[in-house]
């Protein structure tokens, strides 16, 4: 693993202050989609992936979307 430059966290924002490598993201992907059931049960996966509250931010952003935004739903859940 290559260390990050010491100025990196001050210039590049991260989600919740977490930086990860591609290898780390692959492992989270495996957990998220049930490839590592010896580490996380289907019940826990279902609980963190269940929508809890509606997210209205989708309608505030001026981004081009291939789909009609009125037909899209966006939610927050527990997540990781």
Could you state, in order of their start, the residue ranges of all structural domains in the chain?
A: 8-76
Profile the chain (80 residues) by mean pLDDT over runs of 10 residues: 64 60 84 87 89 81 74 80
Rg for the chain (alpha carbons), in Å?
17
pTM (predicted TM-score): 0.53
Q: What is the pLDDT of residue 4?
A: 64
Q: What is the pLDDT of residue 67?
A: 75
Q: What is the pLDDT of residue 5?
A: 66
| Burial of 14 per CB tally in 10 Å (0-12, 13-18, 19+) | exposed
Q: What is the pLDDT of residue 17?
A: 55
Q: What is the pLDDT of residue 10?
A: 58
Alpha helices in 7-71 (DSSP H): 8-11, 22-32, 42-49
Q: CA triplet 41, 24, 57: central angle to 5 degrees?
A: 80
């Amino acid at each position: 693993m290559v260390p990050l430059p010491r100025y990196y966290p001050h210039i590049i924002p991260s989600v919740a202050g977490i930086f990860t490598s591609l290898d780390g993201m692959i492992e989270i992907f495996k957990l998220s989609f049930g490839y590592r059931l010896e580490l996380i049960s289907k019940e826990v996966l279902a609980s963190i992936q269940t929508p809890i509250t509606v997210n209205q931010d989708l309608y505030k952003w001026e981004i081009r979307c291939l789909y009609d935004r009125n037909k899209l739903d966006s939610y927050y859940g527990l997540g990781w």
